[in-house]
Structure 1
């Protein structure tokens, strides 16, 4: 199982509502990725947002910068909002990262958890599903062949057009991110694409039927089970002491949940929800190394995971807290998990 980190590029927001300068956060992110590589984590993913509380609107630029200060870690988006992107340009950008990084680039396609990119780039939300279907089809065709003829509804057609540059092995690994709908699971299984399930609330065991359905569809369409890949993306933060990291993190985490919740009609986030999430059966991987090791191993056993992604910057923890969490993850948690999973 691969062990890595996903981020959205949350900016730190203080008690007065003052937002950290994006320039500062971007430089911190590069330093954090460099440490992830140094401590031996397997992959890094960064999300795309177009909001004042996030620093990153173009994952590919962050990843290209990270490629120059790292040696081994895989570098991908988490996610690229495919519905409001141009698949041609998206492939070109990630193929370029692949060339810079000597074959370490990945692309994770998703619909995005926010809608700001649609009006920003001139797309109608009424076309939400159709945009994703069409653009995923085009992206996969570009990934499979350098010359393409294609026609759809939402972009000009391509007539024997060559898409360059090409990734080192010609095609990129393309993941799809899934929030939990059977339709998305069925599509991924039918296409034989690796899947990342976002589990950010409730109890992870509730997702078991979707994991089983994905595997069933994947097999039914005759895809090679030796290439079967499935992961989870879960809110995480690690510290020396579980109580201390929980008390530090709860105000930051709850503030972010409430900022998002106010736009979506959620009830105010409470400490008992946070504590329930941290429990053995909850969806938060927050605590010391031993607690994290136990929960990650349980998740792997339950779902047959090939990848675990710790989403570690929700609410904007300090750079110091992030660096400490990365150190603990890479030097204590990851080695213990790998040892436990050895045949």
Structure 2
């Protein structure tokens, strides 16, 4: 069955009605309530990303996920992503094993290189080691997952001689997924390791990723990996309201706030125009915005075209009033998800 969920970065951009951003503290508290509601309405996963900048509230997703674990019963709890290159893999495993204990086996790690690079100077890492840091720390994390006692000779990490790593995860085969923005090289590396992959589809036509998904699966088969464990997921920006036109109108302002802020730091990003926005929310765009029927239809189409095993709606991107976000989560769980699940259940996916 297709796994459906939510991803978020805990955005704290100015609200359209007030021109003021909510505090980091308030946004973090709101996130816990949103996780609990997502569980209540039957969504499968809630994933929180790590950032170290003013317009995102969450620098320690594992703490928020731990809080969300306590009063939930079914929803899986994931990072999206853990910036593995700038954190100790021993601590990553310990933190998520702790969430796994609190949730009784519902935690997972989604690791990434980090498209936002603020954590590197903050924790004393050199960007020239960007690729090597990730590759070495991923290998170390996998070694910790597979062995209670860690024997490790590090170059960018510490060396460890036969030391145990506790607590251990509740899940025997603890899930570690790798996120990527769509680089063919990243896809090849992840496929060669036989690890689950998650694509960030946040621009252009989602059909572009079909070639990457096919390549990922082909490499996995050639390497002899268990295809059942090589799942493919995606996350895309989106918003749901009862009225399609209202959803499209309301979502532009917060999306522009975030895109314009990021464009100041990234020369390959441009400030968001309304025409570009309309293209992105259109049939061939990467954003999923509208009423429940419109969002469900587009979700079904993209999941089917790409052969996805899971899909996360990044909801919202940029700040929306908390009460509106709760309404969107409820619509997703009660109207969108059942329709998507029914479609694929009928097809035997």
- CA deviations over 1:283-328 (Å, ceiling 9, x no partner): 1001111111111111121111110010012111111111011010
- CA deviations over 1:38-84 (Å, ceiling 9, x no partner): 00000000000110111110011001000011111000100000000
Work out which of the residue numbers 310, 316, 319 in structure 2 matches 1:316.
Answer: 319
Matched, 1:52 2:54: yes
Q: Is the 8 A contact 1:196 1:231 kept in 2?
A: yes
Structure 2 counterpart SS, 1:341: helix
Alignment of 1:103-252 (within 5 A): 103-252=105-254
Shift of 1:12: 3.7
- CA deviations over 1:79-118 (Å, ceiling 9, x no partner): 0000001000100000010011000000000011211100
Q: Is the 8 A contact 1:194 1:228 kept in 2?
A: yes
Q: Is the 8 A contact 2:6 2:47 kept in 1?
A: yes
Give the whole-Å Cα distance in 2 for the aligned partners of 1:83 and 1:296: 32
Report the counterpart of residue 9 of structure 1 in structure 2: 10
Gaps of at least 5 residues in structure 1 are: none
Report the counterpart of residue 278 of structure 1 in structure 2: 281
Work out which of the residue numbers 256, 259, 262 in structure 2 matches 1:260.
Answer: 262
What TM-score does the superposition give when structure 2 sets the normalisation length?
Answer: 0.96
Give the whole-Å Cα distance in 2 for the aligned partners of 1:80 and 1:226: 24
Give the whole-Å Cα distance in 2 for the aligned partners of 1:157 and 1:17: 49
Give the whole-Å Cα distance in 1 for the aligned partners of 2:290 and 2:15: 23
Give the whole-Å Cα distance in 1 for the aligned partners of 2:187 and 2:325: 32
Shift of 1:167: 0.3
Shift of 1:267: 3.0
RMSD of aligned C-alpha atoms?
1.2
Shift of 1:14: 4.2
Give the whole-Å Cα distance in 1 for the aligned partners of 2:173 and 2:97: 8
Give the whole-Å Cα distance in 1 for the aligned partners of 2:270 and 2:28: 32
Q: Is the 8 A contact 2:259 2:270 kept in 1?
A: no
Report the more deviating stretch, 200-209 or 264-273. Answer: 264-273
What TM-score does the superposition give when structure 1 sets the normalisation length?
Answer: 0.98
Gaps of at least 5 residues in structure 2 are: none
Matched, 1:303 2:306: yes
Give the whole-Å Cα distance in 1 for the aligned partners of 2:193 and 2:73: 31
Alignment of 1:60-79 (within 5 A): 60-79=62-81
Report the more deviating stretch, 16-25 or 83-92. Answer: 16-25
Report the counterpart of residue 23 of structure 1 in structure 2: 25
- CA deviations over 1:165-202 (Å, ceiling 9, x no partner): 00013442000001111111011111111110001001
- CA deviations over 1:7-30 (Å, ceiling 9, x no partner): 001014146864321111111111
Report the more deviating stretch, 268-277 or 6-15. Answer: 6-15
Give the whole-Å Cα distance in 1 for the aligned partners of 2:57 and 2:134: 24
Q: Is the 8 A contact 2:15 2:321 kept in 1?
A: no
Structure 1 counterpart SS, 2:155: coil
Shift of 1:252: 1.2
Alignment of 1:318-333 (within 5 A): 318-333=321-336
Give the whole-Å Cα distance in 2 for the aligned partners of 1:245 and 1:73: 26
Q: Is the 8 A contact 1:143 1:170 kept in 2?
A: no
Structure 2 counterpart SS, 1:299: helix
Shift of 1:161: 1.0
Give the whole-Å Cα distance in 2 for the aligned partners of 1:102 and 1:14: 37
